[in-house]
């Protein structure tokens, strides 16, 4: 904003606080930290008037003075404000107190004020005019920047406040630093490639939101007529030289507009021009914070190491992304409904689904016992649903069931874990096929589940089954022996057509498909023909075949049945064409019959869905049919 002439400033001041102005009603102090939702109805006109005063055009001496603003009364009870943002230090309008950093900044400002001094004797009229202009300026900043303005102190005639300056970046920007770990200690600095050695590691990441610059003001009584505001700049991702350069630039802006309100211009310049002033185009280079350099006293920095600065910048960027996600509207990829972000569950793999669909999906899998592979509902993703999200989605009883099933499946997948035949406690198997129960101290053989027989060979399951069957025929089998007999029979029948997983020894039977098998218990892939663990399809280039001949014959039979069904569907469509009840498919132009009054048709030839009214493909029926779209049920003319 160009500087105004002294005559214009005098006229403006005379219109505000001159002797001809109407007496101003006393302004009652509001609560220390009113939220925007809790401000009374009179606050909006006051803020608008303050904005007009900051951008007042030069007025003639004969202009009538403006009417006094209505008094700002104290609200009885502040209304509930919006939920606080994720990064509490980046925004939020609250009174200072309790923060050690804010106390240190305020103490530094007062030291600067005592060291600099004002040196100007103000008349009562000038002091009153400065006070009113400061109040209008602070009110305008609060109206423009909202929660980014934090009031620190309004007592004693001096106003101290802080503005969280969020730097504007067009899309995203790279942040890089050069790490050196050759001597065993982690250091960083911005060095050219010519000076880099072999121990240097350039670390680069991309962000869309930069941590704010904290610009703290202390307005003296002589501001804005004679003296500039005292200020400090606090940030942890710029070095001392860069922050000192920003301080000098703010001093230049004041020299260009002495006698004018400059806090808004300072904040706006930091938002839009600070990166270009520091020479950061498409990349920000984190440099070493040299404490020995002659830095400006107004630069408040902490000597943090790169392993602290980089995670903080990444965490702030992630928090701002999450905050934007919560306030946006998204489509659930399961039910295709539109909901705000607060009604979604976002997984670590960055896929998100609505709360109801995720809750139904997790409860269904836990009920069916699919707990080991409780993955992201996206078919192309293999990310697991973490336990903290499951605990929110499932009830207490269902979560306990999930934990129990997961423990049971994990123990079953361990080849060296067996269960005690007496108390069913999990035990670790020794090298000699023996185990000792930690609960009942029973020492048993893991093959036959009897007392261990040192020096004797254990009988095979077939031999033990033969003995138990003979006992059953004689009526001597009771209790545990009957249960063991049933288990052995089941094992014998399973092993006729099943193969054991090479990792967890789980019996798996193939019903159809290729010979590449996938164990649902431990996730291992193996060949069903040779029972060896495999990773891809290279294994089937040798002696093993991917598809056995009987599977190919069955597939040919199924394909022939499909061809017959297509012929029948085509004949059915041609029959309906005689009565005018078919519609051409927009993809393959084949006629498809309309069933009843349903306009949602399915092409028998290309297997695509389309609308009978507009003849357009319909990938998502819920979005195509509705009040603003086509009607799903109408009769043909």
Cα(185)–Cα(33) distance, integer angstroms = 45
Beta bridge partners of 526: 517, 533
CATH 3.30.40.10 positions along the chain are 337-410
User: Does residue 376 contact residue 349 with C-beta atoms inside 8 Å?
Assistant: yes
Cα(258)–Cα(126) distance, integer angstroms = 15
Residue in 562, 589, 591, 586 with CA at minimum distance from that of residue 574 = 591
pTM of the model: 0.51
pLDDT at 471 over 60: no
| pLDDT score, position 480 | 58
**pLDDT bracket for residue 351 (50, 70, 90):** very high
| pLDDT score, position 90 | 37
User: Does residue 334 contact residue 359 with C-beta atoms inside 8 Å?
Assistant: no
pLDDT at 164 over 90: yes
**pLDDT bracket for residue 163 (50, 70, 90):** very high
- Range list of β-strands (E), 115-158: 149-153
Cα(418)–Cα(447) distance, integer angstroms = 10
For 263-276, write each residue's pLDDT tens digit.
999 999 999 998 88
User: Does residue 299 contact residue 244 with C-beta atoms inside 8 Å?
Assistant: yes
The gap from C-alpha 495 to its chain's centroid, in whole angstroms, comes to 48
pLDDT at 91 over 60: no
- Write the burial class of residue 387 (CB in 10 Å: 0-12 exposed, 13-18 middle, 19+ buried): middle
Superfamily of domain 6-172+204-306: Ubiquitin Conjugating Enzyme (3.10.110.10)
What is the number of other CB atoms lying within 10 angstroms of the CB of residue 471? 15
For 617-637, write each residue's pLDDT tens digit.
988 888 888 888 888 888 876
Q: Provide mean pLDDT across the span 111-137.
A: 82
Helix, strand, coil % over all residues of the chain, rounded to 5: 35, 15, 45
| pLDDT score, position 12 | 36
CATH 3.10.110.10 positions along the chain are 6-172+204-306
Provide, rounded to the nearest whole percent, the portion of the chain with pLDDT above 90. Answer: 14
Cα(77)–Cα(96) distance, integer angstroms = 20
Residue in 529, 520, 525 with CA at minimum distance from that of residue 502 = 525
User: Does residue 146 contact residue 267 with C-beta atoms inside 8 Å?
Assistant: no
pLDDT at 188 over 50: no
| pLDDT score, position 611 | 92
Q: What is the mean pLDDT of the chain?
A: 75
**pLDDT bracket for residue 75 (50, 70, 90):** very low
For 131-155, write each residue's pLDDT tens digit.
899 999 999 999 999 999 998 887 7
Cα(573)–Cα(583) distance, integer angstroms = 9
Cα(521)–Cα(527) distance, integer angstroms = 16
Q: Provide mean pLDDT across the span 196-216.
A: 80
Nearest-5° Cα angle at 118, 114 to 120: 150
What is the number of other CB atoms lying within 10 angstroms of the CB of residue 352? 18
pLDDT at 354 over 90: yes
For 578-629, write each residue's pLDDT tens digit.
555 678 888 888 888 887 788 888 887 788 889 988 888 988 888 888 888 8
Provide, rounded to the nearest whole percent, the portion of the chain with pLDDT above 70. Answer: 70
| pLDDT score, position 142 | 92
Q: Provide mean pLDDT across the span 497-518.
A: 85
Q: Is the peptide bond before 629 cis (omega within 30 degrees of 0)?
A: no
- Judge: domain 337-410, CATH 3.30.40.10: yes
- Looking at 153-305, list the stretches that DSSP marks H as alpha helix, in order from N- to C-terminal side: 240-256, 263-277
Biggest distance spanned by C-alpha atoms of the chain: 126
pLDDT at 37 over 80: no
Q: Of 65-74, 88-97, 246-255, 350-359, where does mean pLDDT reach its minimum?
A: 88-97
Cα(446)–Cα(610) distance, integer angstroms = 62
| pLDDT score, position 564 | 61
| pLDDT score, position 562 | 62
**pLDDT bracket for residue 568 (50, 70, 90):** low
């Amino acid at each position: 904003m160009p500087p105004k002439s002294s005559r214009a400033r005098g006229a403006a001041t005379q219109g505000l606080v001159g002797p001809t102005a109407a007496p101003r009603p006393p302004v009652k102090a509001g609560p220390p930290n009113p939220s925007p939702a809790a401000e009374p109805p009179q606050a909006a006109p006051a803020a608008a008037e303050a904005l007009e005063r900051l951008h007042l055009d030069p007025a003639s001496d004969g202009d009538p003075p403006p009417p006094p603003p209505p008094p700002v009364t104290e609200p009885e009870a502040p209304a509930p404000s919006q939920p606080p943002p994720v990064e509490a230090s980046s925004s939020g309008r609250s009174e200072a107190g309790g923060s050690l950093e804010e106390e240190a900044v305020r103490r530094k400002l007062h030291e600067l004020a005592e060291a600099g001094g004002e040196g100007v004797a103000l008349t009562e009229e000038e002091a009153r005019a400065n006070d009113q202009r400061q109040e209008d300026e602070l009110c305008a900043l609060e109206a423009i920047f909202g929660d980014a303005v934090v009031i620190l102190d309004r007592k004693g005639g001096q106003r101290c406040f802080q503005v969280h300056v969020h730097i504007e970046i067009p899309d995203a920007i790279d942040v890089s630093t050069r790490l050196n770990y050759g001597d065993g200690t982690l250091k960083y600095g911005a060095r050219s490639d010519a000076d880099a050695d072999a121990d240097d590691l350039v670390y680069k990441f991309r962000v869309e939101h930069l941590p704010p610059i904290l610009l703290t003001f202390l307005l003296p009584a002589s501001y804005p007529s004679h003296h500039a505001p005292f200020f400090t700049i606090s940030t942890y991702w710029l070095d001392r030289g860069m922050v000192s350069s920003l301080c000098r630039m703010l001093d230049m802006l004041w020299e260009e507009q002495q006698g004018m309100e400059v806090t808004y211009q300072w904040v706006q310049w930091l938002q839009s021009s600070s990166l270009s002033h520091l020479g950061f185009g498409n990349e920000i280079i984190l440099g070493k914070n040299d404490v020995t350099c002659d830095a400006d006293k107004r630069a408040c920095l902490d000597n943090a190491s790169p392993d602290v600065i980089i995670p903080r910048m990444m965490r702030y960027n992630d928090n701002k992304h999450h905050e934007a996600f919560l306030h946006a509207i998204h489509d659930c990829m399961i039910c295709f409904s539109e909901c705000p972000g607060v009604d979604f569950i976002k997984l670590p793999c960055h896929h998100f689904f609505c709360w109801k669909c995720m809750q139904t999906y997790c409860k269904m899998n836990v009920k069916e016992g699919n707990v080991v592979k409780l993955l992201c509902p996206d078919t192309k993703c293999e990310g697991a649903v973490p336990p903290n999200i499951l605990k929110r989605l499932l009830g207490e009883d269902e979560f306990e069931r999930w934990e129990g099933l997961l423990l049971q499946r994990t123990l079953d997948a361990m080849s060296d874990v067996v269960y005690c035949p007496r108390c069913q406690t999990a035990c670790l198997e020794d090298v000699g096929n023996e185990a000792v129960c930690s609960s009942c101290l029973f020492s048993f053989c893991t093959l036959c589940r009897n007392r261990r027989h040192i020096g004797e060979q254990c009988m095979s399951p077939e031999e033990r089954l033969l003995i138990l069957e003979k006992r059953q025929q004689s009526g001597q089998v009771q209790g545990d022996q009957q249960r063991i007999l049933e288990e052995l029979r089941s094992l014998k029948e399973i092993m006729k057509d099943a193969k054991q997983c090479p990792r967890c020894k789980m019996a798996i039977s193939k019903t159809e498909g290729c010979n590449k098998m996938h164990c649902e218990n431990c996730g291992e892939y193996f060949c069903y023909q040779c029972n060896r663990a495999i990773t891809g399809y290279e294994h089937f280039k040798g002696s093993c075949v991917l598809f056995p001949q009987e599977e190919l014959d069955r597939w040919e039979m199924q394909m022939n049945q499909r061809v017959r069904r297509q012929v029948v569907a085509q004949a059915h469509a041609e029959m309906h064409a005689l009565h005018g009840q078919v519609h051409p498919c927009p993809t393959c132009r084949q006629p498809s019959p309309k069933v009843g009054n349903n306009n949602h048709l399915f092409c028998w030839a290309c297997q695509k869905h389309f609308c009978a009214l507009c003849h357009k493909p319909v990938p998502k029926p819920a979005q195509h049919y509705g009040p603003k779209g086509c009607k799903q049920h109408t009769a043909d003319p």
